[in-house]
Structure 1
């Protein structure tokens, strides 16, 4: 892309981000109890310094709501000048972490803890700023704000409350009424509130800035505290700012198809930004997802957009400061109330419910609100560790009747002595004298649990019953019988593991493809050669045409337990089926060949969680004139009624089934009863398949086969 072409996209995008950054920066400074100029200084430094040095080209940095609680507490304890010094020191710590290449280490923190922390911070911000919106003063602690809220609501607030409610109404309604990103909702809300205030209200507190901003900058002063207190404050700001910035950078990567983020470089840039901001008397800086997503949606192509937005803020503050002083504080408080509540994401809550991590999320959020940020995060980490330990020793036991006098017992997962009681109770349910097959799908078995199964097997045999033990993986039970029980978990079987998983054991990293082929020829080819030889002789007769995404994490034969000759596969970005006669014809050729030449009885469209193509369609984060943009536009999917990403992926699968029926060969075969169309949704994290109801555009669990 030429510099001129990129600049043509970046200048308009920078103006949009500049317009949304002004009210947010002022509001965050006000919520932190800091001078309003400190928020604007941080916004300028975040744009220019981090924009120049950063490793995430489309990320925009500035003062963030996620640090409001920490900064407010630091200012109360040490004063703003000392807080600026702490911010500068925190920047130095971030630079060291980045140079030590620890950027990705921050991503090891449980997302449930991070999002729970942000939810707790959002509640704290909302509880404090609602008082300002109502014409009162915020208390220093969340529980005090909650305690005083009923009295504040019942009081007489005059024009302040009306202006605040007007601002919230515009924030919520503007995106529904105005579909252009050139007029952000936050800017529109503040402008409308300011105009109404100037016209009708005279008793409302307004923004106050120094007459000469450059002469009245507050420079850092060494905190009047012990080394231990200073160290804790510095590390708290450094670590929270680092995690928030890196998570934001990863999220922004999913919104566009440009260069990926260099997280270590981004961490160094964030450190340089915080060091500069602190030395100039600014707030701490992080990568901000609100501004970054706006930047991508507005069409930014390079880091020039972030840099220019910082320059626009600087020029505006120096030249047009009187305009900022007409903004009512109630409007800024209203913006912060909405921003704070939006940190509590219902989509994330649903995700953590599905993945059984909601306790960690809730404990972290409640801990942050009820105590402080560090204690809340510590409580969240503790709960995450406990849940992890519980999962490590968790096994699933199923007992089903396989037929008259026959039972199947399936034990999956990690079986240690702590779970052996549950297994013993399940085995005790089986009537005496029956034929029992025990299937073990274990990645670990300790001696205590082995003894429980073996003792039951021996005792059951004495009652006239028969027990057969079948195993997968490394044969833990048979090894225990011969006294060779291992002391580590089983690595994934080679034919199901990825290159990186089994090559770590073999130290064969130089040429993954070559090593993988050798492994296939050595261990797998002898097993499948007779079957492949038959297919080579007789030709293919697949039962299904399987259309799925090109995502490397999705392995069709693995997730369907199918083999050579079973599936005729078409894979592309987003499992898209262009409508008949429109756009790309390669998918249509495969459809016609599968139906007419191969005579498949089923066509399945399979989507998956975390689909990058759907995310790009949702956010518009792709170049419309590029090949990817032209391809994605052929999906024809409408996300109007989607509640979340999962719903949009499901809707995409349903739409592709609609597109399939635009093909004459499909309609004819379906009308004749020779062809069935189905939709599937594969959840990568759960390793579980769901059926897609195309009519209702929802996913449902597949029926359980009791046999």
Structure 2
């Protein structure tokens, strides 16, 4: 498809869809943030044009976000709107500096439980504050005050405002269930329906009030004369939360399409530039937002043109459609924000965190955000997550039942005293069975345990050690060697098969992971590699259970379609049924299969495509040839032409311990260490 046809068929209609969604959301977020309505539209325009033009995640849509409403509302109350614009500008500069110094991924170090808890807390705060507006009364200063005031806000005198909110929520929830009209954003239909009801019945409810001259109404940023410590904290808070929300959204959007993955550092730089411009122009802080981004992908956007154009359409609506926007009742925008707030409390996140036993940091963060404030809630959540991690790291079980000593968990230096007390209770001269199931022993615990074993044996006792996780045998010929245990005598050893099976059952088959995979597999990539024992596909690609559909054979060969039914079936199943987005062909050096193919091309090795070259050159050229063969499979050709599949060649140098991508001519690109 040509660039022009792609633009007309995909990006142009997608940009209109996203703009129709962005206008009511931006106005609602501005109202909930205590900012002028025009500030929400300014942020949407800047997010689309500036952030979209520079973005490292081209399909991500940026603009004002519900996740920042709580903190912006507080800062506007403390410092005023003009100073809030200055805070947005300075936060943008902080993001630019972080992007230039390639600190994009640092924001993702915040524990997911804390991030989801923060969003859930923000959702509750939004719901409580906006319900008051829906019921026709102004919101209070704190969420708890809003909660207490809700029963008294119910009054027949304000039934019209409540009716507007009910109509908005009803359309929002019901519109996506109707066939044939789902491409029209529900938010736009809900707000338009509420405005039509107000006009039809003549209800007297507050409406939007936009300035007649939008440019004259823009606020210039103004720095306060004092409280620089508070301003600095506000700048860092806005920069951090905006960065975290943006980068989490970019990672989520990556999973919605099969195009190029996001460059997080460039995305952070783009967001910083957008916030700098938005602050200068009197707009709200800008972040990447998953609601508008997912709508962009679902509408068929292919390039950043859709994101940029959506900003243009929002600007046109603010300049040419101000009269229509002033028909929108404030209760409709508040009802829209109520639904957005409810959706921030995602039950799917709760289920996932329960599997990982991380509900506590989530709850502490959410309650802290609601009961105290956002910064305190996040700080409490991080502290809880750190304490929980430390507890898990140091948690151990040491039990003595007769002559059976069982040790499990992690043993660190501060558990050594308890371990020593238990060891002293074992009478001398006995046949002790040490069942060692340790995840980790630091030097102090290891020295105490190994010293006790040696001393106990020296005094006439016997210690038989069973180590289901790490019971290993030294040397390449275990029958002639004495068994050793890694925690008690760590050497470079080769595991036995039986020990590996025990290790899997003891450590590497967590029920939570297996439960998630029990409903079927959804691997992200297919790995076609050589059967050589040097190559460990999951180690090379950093994959875990459920990530990789693997096919291995001698020489990592992929016969052309129709030449081998087994490979035809595997490729078709991976691409058409499992929906993998990447197929990897991985060769290596030194490859015995390629060495044999250089001598003879009989049997299976006839599928190797080699030229007069060295062994390593032949292995690399063979990867390129197998990628060409792979393209002859109909499922691969169809998915590739639709942009849903990419083919990658990898070459593992087992001598240098590096893995590199293979270019079209067999030249290696960007080697990466094998660890």
Q: TM-score scaled to structure 2, two decimals?
A: 0.69
Aligned to 2:408: 411
Change in 2 beyond 3 A, CA 1:454/1:165:
farther
Aligned to 1:26: 27
Aligned to 1:678: none
Tell me by how many angstroms 1:118 deviates.
1.2
Aligned to 2:153: 152
**Alpha-carbon separation, structure 1, partners of 2:14 and 2:291:** 14
**Alpha-carbon separation, structure 1, partners of 2:196 and 2:211:** 22
Q: Is this contact kept in 2: 1:181–1:298, CA < 8 A?
A: no
Aligned to 1:134: 135
Tell me by how many angstroms 1:344 deviates.
0.9
SS class of match (2:350): helix
Tell me by how many angstroms 1:575 deviates.
5.7
Change in 2 beyond 3 A, CA 1:449/1:21:
same
SS class of match (2:440): strand
Aligned to 2:98: 97
Change in 2 beyond 3 A, CA 1:587/1:233:
farther
Deviations 1:541-561 (A, max 9, x none): xxxxxx9766579999xxxxx
2:639 counterpart (620, 626, 630) = 626
SS class of match (1:57): coil
Q: Is this contact kept in 2: 1:49–1:273, CA < 8 A?
A: yes
Aligned to 2:175: 174
**Alpha-carbon separation, structure 2, partners of 1:462 and 1:485:** 22
Tell me by how many angstroms 1:54 deviates.
1.1
Change in 2 beyond 3 A, CA 1:78/1:445:
closer
Deviations 1:642-675 (A, max 9, x none): xxxxxxxxxxxxxxxxxxxxxxxxxxxxxxxxxx
Aligned to 1:386: 387
Q: Is this contact kept in 2: 1:548–1:574, CA < 8 A?
A: no
Q: Is this contact kept in 2: 1:121–1:340, CA < 8 A?
A: yes
Moved more, 300-309 or 180-189: 180-189
Deviations 1:614-664 (A, max 9, x none): xxxxxxxxx9963386999xxxxxxxxxxxxxxxxxxxxxxxxxxxxxxxx
Q: Is this contact kept in 1: 2:124–2:341, CA < 8 A?
A: yes
Aligned to 1:164: 165
Deviations 1:204-227 (A, max 9, x none): 111111112122222222224332
Change in 2 beyond 3 A, CA 1:188/1:365:
same
Tell me by how many angstroms 1:410 deviates.
6.3
**Alpha-carbon separation, structure 2, partners of 1:428 and 1:181:** 72
**Alpha-carbon separation, structure 2, partners of 1:555 and 1:111:** 33
Which runs of structure 2 are paired with 1:28-177 in the superposition (5 Å)? 28-153=29-154, 156-177=157-178
Q: Is this contact kept in 2: 1:133–1:333, CA < 8 A?
A: yes
Tell me by how many angstroms 1:153 deviates.
3.4
Deviations 1:83-136 (A, max 9, x none): 111111111111111111111111111111111111111111111000001111
SS class of match (2:158): coil
Change in 2 beyond 3 A, CA 1:554/1:626:
closer
Tell me by how many angstroms 1:382 deviates.
0.7
Q: Is this contact kept in 2: 1:394–1:419, CA < 8 A?
A: no
Change in 2 beyond 3 A, CA 1:270/1:161:
same
Deviations 1:435-465 (A, max 9, x none): 7352444432443576478769988999998
**Alpha-carbon separation, structure 1, partners of 2:381 and 2:455:** 45
**Alpha-carbon separation, structure 2, partners of 1:192 and 1:429:** 79
Aligned to 1:589: 566
Aligned to 1:268: 269
Tell me by how many angstroms 1:237 deviates.
1.0
**Alpha-carbon separation, structure 2, partners of 1:422 and 1:553:** 47
Tell me by how many angstroms 1:262 deviates.
1.1
Aligned to 2:257: 256
1:438 counterpart (435, 438, 450) = 435
SS class of match (1:341): helix
Change in 2 beyond 3 A, CA 1:322/1:412:
same
Aligned to 2:295: 294
Aligned to 2:192: 191
Change in 2 beyond 3 A, CA 1:122/1:572:
closer
Aligned to 2:444: 447
Which runs of structure 2 are paired with 1:335-484 in the superposition (5 Å)? 335-395=336-396, 409=406, 411-414=408-411, 416-418=413-415, 421=418, 436=433, 438-448=435-445, 451=448, 467-470=464-467
Q: Is this contact kept in 2: 1:420–1:452, CA < 8 A?
A: no
Deviations 1:594-615 (A, max 9, x none): xxxxxxxxxxxxx99x9979xx
**Alpha-carbon separation, structure 2, partners of 1:26 and 1:116:** 25
Tell me by how many angstroms 1:257 deviates.
0.8
Q: Is this contact kept in 2: 1:51–1:60, CA < 8 A?
A: yes
Tell me by how many angstroms 1:307 deviates.
0.4
Tell me by how many angstroms 1:26 deviates.
0.3
Q: Is this contact kept in 2: 1:159–1:201, CA < 8 A?
A: no
Q: Is this contact kept in 2: 1:395–1:413, CA < 8 A?
A: yes
SS class of match (2:236): helix
Deviations 1:146-196 (A, max 9, x none): 121222236642111011011111111222224654211111111111111
Q: Is this contact kept in 1: 2:581–2:644, CA < 8 A?
A: no
Change in 2 beyond 3 A, CA 1:375/1:549:
closer
**Alpha-carbon separation, structure 1, partners of 2:39 and 2:26:** 9
CA RMSD of aligned residues (A): 4.6
Tell me by how many angstroms 1:141 deviates.
1.3
Which runs of structure 2 are paired with 1:481-630 in the superposition (5 Å)? 551=524, 589=566, 626-627=639-640
SS class of match (2:168): helix
Q: Is this contact kept in 1: 2:522–2:546, CA < 8 A?
A: yes
Moved more, 308-317 or 460-469: 460-469
Deviations 1:235-291 (A, max 9, x none): 111111111111111111111111111111111111111111111111110001100
Which runs of structure 2 are paired with 1:8-19 in the superposition (5 Å)? 8=8, 9-19=10-20
SS class of match (2:154): helix
Which runs of structure 2 are paired with 1:603-682 in the superposition (5 Å)? 626-627=639-640
Aligned to 1:220: 221
Aligned to 1:4: 4
SS class of match (1:210): coil
Deviations 1:324-373 (A, max 9, x none): 01111111000101101111111111111110111111111111111111
Change in 2 beyond 3 A, CA 1:587/1:467:
same
Deviations 1:538-589 (A, max 9, x none): xxxxxxxxx9766579999xxxxxx99xxxxxx9998699xxxxxx989973
